[in-house]
């Protein structure tokens, strides 16, 4: 790529992303090269400093680096220039808590490639809007205040996986683009450490720079928790007309039956309606997603369902409330059946030798579930599905083989299972540390 074409690509990306915004972009150059006008050079050892407002996070290891920039809440178009004169590079970029943005971008030696994606930054503060009082999200401590603090700290943190010299330039500008909000349980939420992962963390990879994904799901929660902890209020305070909210609960709602006052066809459906009404009042599009199935097979090798009533209740609610429906429960069962009894183990987290978590996916499994959700958006005719990347294809009956899965793992690991599944306690001590404040 010539310098002229590189400059043109950056200019186009900036114009596309900013649209009506007038804020000046933030531009960085990495390495020893002199910084062009309007850019800030960042030396390799530049650690994040609150007074400076940017820098590398400590603890870079295993081919990954973390770079943070202080930013107000909102959506941002992030443009990276990738390549290295010294050799071929392959770079994967994740944002905040391991949200996959760019997957294995290969650049030949001496070449440059420009890629743009949109990342979302938020804080726990809830701004007052019609129908929503000002306040804060009731975050879970210490999970969200320490282990998952990167999701709430008013910074954009980017994880660069691959050659440390591959990222040459970085440009961040406000982006006035529609948002796909996510709300759900641990199978949707941003999991802070390997081997756990969720479809919500993988979904951004399948959208181009014309849309943002903002994940507000949390482990162990239900529709009822969304109301009580004000997660839905936070989404409503950020929502603009034309935005979409995907909602998938069921795993933990199922456990509420024990209290004697809950059930899939009573309180669960009532709480769904409360969410749908609130989103519509803000001009958004509510979308119901049936709960992703757990991994279980009968003696004949057929998938054994455990969430049938909640999947049916979600389907009924979508029909009764006239909202789009994504049947992830059926998609996931089709995927597990196609992978088989043994093959499906490759899609689930194994936090310790001999331990398999049959509820929570690893990166490969969540990648497949995210593709199923994206397919469901397209098949349901959801308008924002037009922003899926042009090369997107998926058939649940013929899932991508694990041998071809190339997303590199993040350095941070944990043996503690996500919250909410009392039937299978943690298999070891927590090993993930939060951001140093």
Residue 432 placed within a domain: no
Residue 27 placed within a domain: yes
Split at pLDDT 50, 70, 90, the class of 20 is very low
Of 321-335, 367-381, 415-429, the one with minimum mean pLDDT is 415-429
44-63 confidence digits (pLDDT tens): 889 999 999 999 998 766 67
pLDDT at 84 over 60: yes
Residue 233 placed within a domain: yes
pLDDT at 23 over 50: no
Number of domains in the chain: 1
Domain of residue 193, CATH code: 3.40.50.1110
Please name which of 236, 85, 260, 73 lies closest in space to residue 153, comparing C-alpha atoms. 73
Split at pLDDT 50, 70, 90, the class of 425 is very low
Rounded CA gap, 301 and 312, in Å? 23
205 vs 93, 154, 265, CA distance in Å? 10, 22, 34
CB 415 within 8 A of CB 431: yes
Residue 269 placed within a domain: yes
Q: Which residues pair with 242 in a beta bridge?
A: none
CB 415 within 8 A of CB 196: no
Rounded CA gap, 158 and 156, in Å? 7
pLDDT at 434 over 60: no
pLDDT at 421 over 60: no
Split at pLDDT 50, 70, 90, the class of 4 is very low
pLDDT at residue 234, rounded to an integer: 98
Split at pLDDT 50, 70, 90, the class of 166 is very high
pLDDT at 87 over 70: yes
pLDDT at residue 58, rounded to an integer: 87
Q: What is the DSSP code string of 344-395?
A: GGGGB---BTTB--SSSB-HHHHHHHHHHHHHHHHHTT-GGGGGB-TT----
Residue 417 placed within a domain: no
- Which residue range is the domain that position 374 belongs to? 3-404
Residue 275 placed within a domain: yes
Phi, psi of 200 (to 5 degrees): -65, -30
Per-residue burial over 366-383, b if 16 or more Cβ lie within 10 Å, else e, is: bbbbbbbbbbbbeebebe
Residue 267 placed within a domain: yes
197-254 confidence digits (pLDDT tens): 999 999 999 999 999 999 999 999 999 999 999 999 999 999 999 999 999 999 999 9
Residue 300 placed within a domain: yes
- Please give the model's pTM, rounded to 2 decimal places: 0.90
């Amino acid at each position: 790529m010539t310098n002229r074409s590189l400059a043109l690509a950056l200019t186009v990306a900036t114009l596309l992303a900013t649209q009506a915004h007038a804020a000046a972009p933030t531009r960085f150059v990495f390495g020893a090269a002199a910084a062009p006008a309007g850019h800030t050079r960042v030396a390799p050892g530049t650690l994040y400093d609150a007074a400076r407002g940017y820098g590398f996070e400590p603890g870079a290891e295993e081919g990954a680096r973390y770079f943070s920039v202080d930013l107000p809440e909102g959506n941002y178009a992030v443009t990276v220039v990738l390549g290295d004169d010294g050799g071929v590079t392959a770079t994967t970029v994740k944002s905040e808590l391991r949200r996959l943005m760019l997957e294995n971008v290969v650049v030949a030696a001496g070449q440059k490639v420009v890629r743009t994606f949109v990342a979302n930054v938020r804080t726990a503060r809830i701004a007052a809007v019609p129908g929503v009082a000002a306040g804060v999200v009731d975050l879970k401590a210490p999970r969200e205040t320490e282990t998952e603090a990167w999701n709430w700290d008013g910074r954009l943190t980017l994880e660069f996986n691959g050659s440390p010299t591959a990222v040459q330039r970085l440009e961040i500008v406000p982006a006035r683009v529609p948002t796909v909000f996510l709300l759900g349980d641990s199978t949707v939420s941003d999991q802070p450490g390997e081997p756990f992962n969720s479809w919500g963390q993988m979904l951004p990879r399948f959208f181009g720079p014309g849309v943002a994904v903002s994940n507000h799901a949390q482990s162990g929660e239900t529709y009822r928790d969304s109301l009580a902890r004000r997660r839905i209020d936070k989404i409503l305070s950020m929502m603009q007309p034309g935005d979409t909210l995907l909602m998938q609960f069921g795993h933990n709602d199922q456990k509420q039956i024990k209290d004697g006052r809950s059930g899939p066809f009573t309180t669960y459906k009532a709480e769904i309606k409360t969410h749908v009404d609130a989103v519509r009042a803000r001009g958004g599009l509510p979308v119901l997603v049936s709960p992703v199935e757990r991994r279980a097979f009968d003696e004949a090798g057929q998938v054994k369902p455990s969430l049938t009533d909640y999947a049916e209740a979600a389907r009924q609610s979508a029909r009764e409330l006239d909202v789009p429906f994504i049947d992830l429960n059926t998609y996931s069962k089709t995927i597990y059946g196609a992978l088989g009894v043994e093959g499906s183990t490759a899609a689930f987290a194994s936090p310790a030798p001999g331990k398999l978590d049959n509820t929570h996916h690893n990166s490969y499994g969540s990648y497949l579930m995210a593709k199923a959700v994206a397919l469901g958006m397209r098949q349901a005719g959801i308008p924002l599905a037009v922003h899926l990347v042009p090369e997107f294809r998926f058939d649940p009956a013929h899932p991508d083989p694990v041998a071809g899965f190339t997303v590199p793992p993040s350095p941070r690991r944990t043996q503690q299972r996500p919250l909410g599944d009392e039937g299978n306690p943690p298999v070891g001590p927590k090993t993930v540390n939060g951001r140093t404040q």
